[in-house]
Amino acid sequence: MAIPLLIVGGRIIDPSQGIDKVGDLLIAEGCIAWMGSNKAGELPPEQYQVIHAEGMIVCPGLVDLHCHLREPGFEEKETIATGTRAAARGGFTTVCCMANTNPPIDTRATVEFIQKKAAAEGVIRVLPIGCITKGRNGEEMVEMGELAEAGVVALSDDGNPVADARLMRYALEYSRSFDLVLIDHCEDVSLSQGGVMNEGWVSTRLGLRGIPAAAEEAMVARDIALADMTGGRVHIAHVSTAGSADLIRRAKDRGIPVTAEVTPHHLTMTEERVMGYGWDNEKPCSLPLLAYDTNAKVNPPLRTARDVEALIDALKEGVIDAIATDHAPHEDVEKMCEFDIAAFGISGLETALGSLLTLVHDGKVDLMTLISKLASEPAKIVRKSEIGTLRVGAAGDVAIFDSEAEWVVDPAAFASKGKNTPLGGCLLKGKVMATICQGEIVHKEDAVKLETISREAFRT
């Protein structure tokens, strides 16, 4: 039996219990065993493995509702082994992996393949998301019951919307038998087709085809109407516009079963980012050579400052339930090319917390809210009561971070195979120092001291 892990002296923040206090946390046999202070000497274990977390924040291991691990099928972009290590470096202990693999996750066999791979090669918990339609073709529903039994936590054709409204209606109705949430990638492709960035003055300036906000909002509105009609649970993936947030707010006010997520990049970056790092909104000038930054090409696209403000407000009000990375790793060659043909996506697991903490440092979001959106709320959406919380008896999943530690993002040092981040070279304030999943340390910075101490030592 492994020695129990005692995290001492950290500021423990657990939104699920409304806790924000300095104390110690004991993890034994893979579960949260105790939380308190200065009483470790009186607890049963003879010996502790001690992590000193003084000055750091100790919170539930983060839960990512939306990431792309790419395996099976696209192992050159990411594998379960590399993706889960990237997640661990980002403070995540659970990731829900999207179904757009090859083959897509539309059968029990693929679900089991991922579960086996994750058990053998992954370092954190991997919860597969199944497709809504067979082959993600948007034509026939998957066998939801079988997938639910196999262990999928949600269904999504992410990457594609479910374009056919009637099919979406049936899928929402049918999903009620298994209490599965349908995660929809809301995009009316007749409006977005050919678009590569937000439609606005920047797309005009760059001569790029735009994706209007209405392409997302039209389908968000449709999904809300269908959720209202069917009572099926719909979860709006990667909300990116102020208009979508408004639609979701009104739907929630009316009690429609809709939830929503937003990505770290849509909360922290605007469309101007496509004009390249160094673009100054205060002093608009000529395009830098770094313009057409394909690392800022993502779907849905980075939007306007007004959208970012609206999304932050919606997050605080609870209109948007969760923050999900939409981690989308790609090979370098898919980004080192013309903007029009570059792949959409940002490798986001390792920078998520660091970039989101800028919202805390700027006073826009408090830490309790931020952590709830990254841990307890996403756990609720996938109906997993044992994660996203530090309640005694819950999974021993913990993230420890230093909200003041500054670091420069170096994509080459990512554990992820995807080096595609627009944050390369940026200074972030807030760093994950250690990640513990089911009682095991799955990531630890060298600065974090770990020592074995006998119970006796705590009695003096």
Partner 1 sequence: MRTTKQEELSEPLPPLEAQRSRRRHVLDLDDFTREEIELVFETADAMKEVFQREIKKVPTLRGKTLVTMFYEASTRTRISFEQAAKSLSADVINISASGSSTEKGESLIDTVRTIQALGADVIVMRHYHAGAPYLIAQHVDVTVINGGDGCHAHPTQGLLDLYTMREHLGTVEGAKVVIVGDILHSRVARSNIWGLTKMGVEVVLCAPPTLIPVGLGPPAFPLVTMEPSLDRAVEGADVVMPLRLQKERQQRGLLPSIREYIQFYQLDLRRLSMAKPNALVLHPGPMNEGVEITAEVAHGAQSVIEEQVTNGVAVRMAILYLLMGGAQ
- What residues are annotated to the active site? 326
Phi, psi at residue 45, to the nearest 5°?
Answer: -60, 145
# residues near partner 1 by CB under 8 A: 27
Cβ contact 416:349 at 8 Å: yes
- Mark 62-81 with x for binding to partner 1 (rule: CB under 8 A) and - for no binding: --------------------
Q: Alpha helices of 195-347 — where are they, by DSSP H?
A: 201-206, 213-230, 242-253, 264-268, 305-317
Is residue 292 close enough to count as binding partner 1 by CB under 8 A?
Answer: yes
What is the helix (H) or strand (E) element at residue 156, kind and residue range? strand 154-156
Is residue 282 close enough to count as binding partner 1 by CB under 8 A?
Answer: no
Name which of 3 and 214 has its Cβ closer to partner 1: 214
- Of the ranges 107-115, 160-168, 200-208, 393-401, which one interacts with partner 1 (CB under 8 A)? 200-208
- Residue 433 CA to residue 168 CA, distance in Å, equals 42
Give the up-direction half-sphere exposure of residue 210: CA atoms within 13 A in the CB hemisphere.
Answer: 16
Is residue 179 close enough to count as binding partner 1 by CB under 8 A?
Answer: no
Nearest Cα residue to 314 out of 240, 222, 257, 389 = 240
Is residue 210 close enough to count as binding partner 1 by CB under 8 A?
Answer: yes
Is residue 135 close enough to count as binding partner 1 by CB under 8 A?
Answer: no
| Residue among 2, 109, 287, 408 that touches partner 1 (CB under 8 A) | 287
| Residue among 18, 207, 255, 363 that touches partner 1 (CB under 8 A) | 207
| Residue among 253, 282, 338, 446 that touches partner 1 (CB under 8 A) | 338
Do the bridges between strand 210-211 and strand 197-198 make them parallel or antiparallel, or are there none, so unpaired? Answer: parallel
| Residue among 11, 108, 134, 205 that touches partner 1 (CB under 8 A) | 205
| Residue among 200, 301, 418, 439 that touches partner 1 (CB under 8 A) | 200
Is residue 291 close enough to count as binding partner 1 by CB under 8 A?
Answer: yes
Name which of 119 and 336 has its Cβ closer to partner 1: 336
Cβ contact 211:324 at 8 Å: no
Structure tokens at 184: 């929809």
Name which of 95 and 275 has its Cβ closer to partner 1: 275
| Residue among 333, 408, 413, 447 that touches partner 1 (CB under 8 A) | 333
Is residue 199 close enough to count as binding partner 1 by CB under 8 A?
Answer: yes
User: Rounded to the nearest whole angstrom, what is the least distance from the CB of residue 217 to partner 1 in the complex?
Assistant: 16
Is residue 286 close enough to count as binding partner 1 by CB under 8 A?
Answer: yes
Name which of 333 and 457 has its Cβ closer to partner 1: 333
- Of the ranges 166-174, 280-288, 395-403, 419-427, which one interacts with partner 1 (CB under 8 A)? 280-288
User: Rounded to the nearest whole angstrom, what is the least distance from the CB of residue 284 to partner 1 in the complex?
Assistant: 7
Nearest Cα residue to 399 out of 71, 19, 87 = 87
| First vs last C-alpha separation in the chain | 26
Cβ contact 26:381 at 8 Å: no
- How remote is the C-alpha of 304 from its chain's centroid? 21
Do the bridges between strand 322-323 and strand 258-262 make them parallel or antiparallel, or are there none, so unpaired? Answer: parallel
- Of the ranges 199-207, 256-264, 309-317, 433-441, which one interacts with partner 1 (CB under 8 A)? 199-207
SS3 content of the chain, % helix, strand, coil (to 5): 35, 25, 40
- Residue 459 burial (CB < 10 Å; 0-12/13-18/19+)? exposed
Structure tokens at 9: 């002296």
- Residue 89 CA to residue 442 CA, distance in Å, equals 8
Name which of 67 and 275 has its Cβ closer to partner 1: 275
| Residue among 206, 296, 324, 346 that touches partner 1 (CB under 8 A) | 206
- Residue 249 CA to residue 116 CA, distance in Å, equals 39
Cβ contact 243:283 at 8 Å: no
**Amino acid code (one letter) for 427:** L
| Residue among 41, 135, 284, 318 that touches partner 1 (CB under 8 A) | 284
Structure tokens at 455: 């119970």
Neighbours of 177 (CB within 10 A): 10
Name which of 307 and 326 has its Cβ closer to partner 1: 307
| Residue among 289, 412, 446, 459 that touches partner 1 (CB under 8 A) | 289
Residue with tokens 């999903």, as numbered in its chain: 175
Kindly write down the DSSP assignment for every residue of 85-100, as one continuous string: HHHHHTTEEEEEEPS-
| Residue among 2, 119, 165, 290 that touches partner 1 (CB under 8 A) | 290
Residues 341-360 that bind partner 1 (CB under 8 A): 341
Is residue 204 close enough to count as binding partner 1 by CB under 8 A?
Answer: yes
Is residue 425 close enough to count as binding partner 1 by CB under 8 A?
Answer: no
Is residue 427 close enough to count as binding partner 1 by CB under 8 A?
Answer: no
- Of the ranges 197-205, 315-323, 368-376, 400-408, which one interacts with partner 1 (CB under 8 A)? 197-205
User: Rounded to the nearest whole angstrom, what is the least distance from the CB of residue 298 to partner 1 in the complex?
Assistant: 16
Task: Give me the residues that bind partner 1 (CB under 8 A), please.
Answer: 199-210, 284-287, 289-292, 333, 336-341
